[in-house]
Amino acid sequence: MKLKKKLLSTVMLSTAALLALAGCGSKESGSASYSIAISQIVEHPSLDATREGFLKALEDAGIKAGDNLKVDVNIAQGDSTNNLSIAQKIASGKYDLALGIATPSALTLAQNVKDFPVLFAAVTDPLADKVVSSLEKPGANVTGASDTNPEAIVRLMDFIASDFPNVKNVGIVINEGESNAVIMAKKAEEALSAHGIKLVRAAATTSSEVKQAAESLIGRADAIYITLDNTVVTAADSIIQVANDNKLPFFSSDRDTVEKGAFATVGFKYYDHGYQVGQMAVDVLKNGKKPADMPVSVPDKLDLILNLKAAEAQGIDVTDAMKDKVKDKENNIIQ
């Protein structure tokens, strides 16, 4: 219990610091016209970028933190008890809207908040995880944007099969306790199977286990792949190290991990994803739209993204044929 209290205390301190930086809730900023709460399961680049994009969309619509907007940011530090406490706190508060970033936070908000709108972002399969009951007509007070277009997984697996003919086994570091990771892994396994390639699993239930799981794939896999698995993405640096040390191509499901040192993904910018959800929030706050009538959206700006420095570190010969598959070469071929 002491550890849980300490973690929750850390969350509250983190929230206070973020609010202070934004100038929210200070006497100088005056009374805000809007008040929103954000619940985020853990801090890592993709989720942080999602939050930043969300707030920028509000700002561009004239809803600015520290001016006419109060923002209560809560980070659960990957802890389920903290996540529930945050959702319960938000549910009992007076907010115009709440945002859940990542599946655990979105689901817990949806289960607890009934009196005001809830939006979600960075959720892989909101239907399978029962965040909403329908993608077209979500119903109730919840809607948002999925961060997964199933086509992205298939296209990435097709890229591995066509451009890495020596890859016969793809290793995946995965927390089987994250439903979003399980769903994406199944889709990847089906896509790879169509090419006669096997998916080899290495389990990691905490971020501290990720490096050991990645190391267990040495000799069993010809490449490494990860999903939008919060446990694993948080420790992506350790996989990059293993991939570089052992000359194993490393493929991720998000751009931010590619920018850090994975070789490739088929994806988009999480900042843009968050901005998209922020625009939905503007429709709710300023235009009176109801989440029940707002379809769940998915990313539509997909492109192959390559990191050439990562390729060199992982012993990959980047061919012209690979580069030709990138639509926006200026932004999506990272030097």
Contact 142, 291 (CB under 8 A): yes
Residues 6+ apart with CB under 8 A from 21: none
Mean pLDDT of all residues in 313-329 = 97
Q: What confidence tier does 160 reach under pLDDT thresholds 50, 70, 90? A: very high
Question: Residue 328 burial (CB < 10 Å; 0-12/13-18/19+)?
Answer: exposed
The candidate with the shortest Cα–Cα distance to 103, out of 50, 178, 5, 193, is 178
How large a percentage of the chain has pLDDT more than 70? 90
Does an H or E element contain 86, and which? helix 80-91
Supply the pLDDT for residue 112: 97
* pLDDT (tens digit per residue) in 85-111: 999 999 999 999 999 999 999 999 999
Q: What confidence tier does 149 reach under pLDDT thresholds 50, 70, 90? A: confident
Q: What confidence tier does 27 reach under pLDDT thresholds 50, 70, 90? A: very low
Q: What confidence tier does 32 reach under pLDDT thresholds 50, 70, 90? A: low
DSSP state of 306: E
Supply the pLDDT for residue 5: 39
pTM of the model: 0.73
Supply the pLDDT for residue 298: 87
Map residue 226 onto helix, strand or coil: coil
The residue written with tokens 């969309």 in the block is: 57
Map residue 96 onto helix, strand or coil: coil
Does the pLDDT value for residue 139 go beyond 60? yes
Q: Give residue 62's region: left, alpha or beta (phi > 0; psi -120 to 50).
A: left
Sign of CA dihedral 224, 177, 192, 320: negative
Q: What confidence tier does 7 reach under pLDDT thresholds 50, 70, 90? A: very low
Q: What confidence tier does 13 reach under pLDDT thresholds 50, 70, 90? A: very low
Q: What confidence tier does 80 reach under pLDDT thresholds 50, 70, 90? A: very high
- What does each C-alpha distance from 144 to 84, 110, 150, 280, 283 come to in angstroms? 20, 11, 17, 7, 12
* pLDDT (tens digit per residue) in 108-136: 999 999 999 999 999 988 998 899 999 99
Which residues, listed in sequence order, are joined to residue 97 by a DSSP beta bridge? 36
Contact 170, 224 (CB under 8 A): yes
Supply the pLDDT for residue 239: 98
Mean pLDDT of all residues in 174-200 = 96
* Pairwise CA distance, residues 280 & 286, whole Å: 10
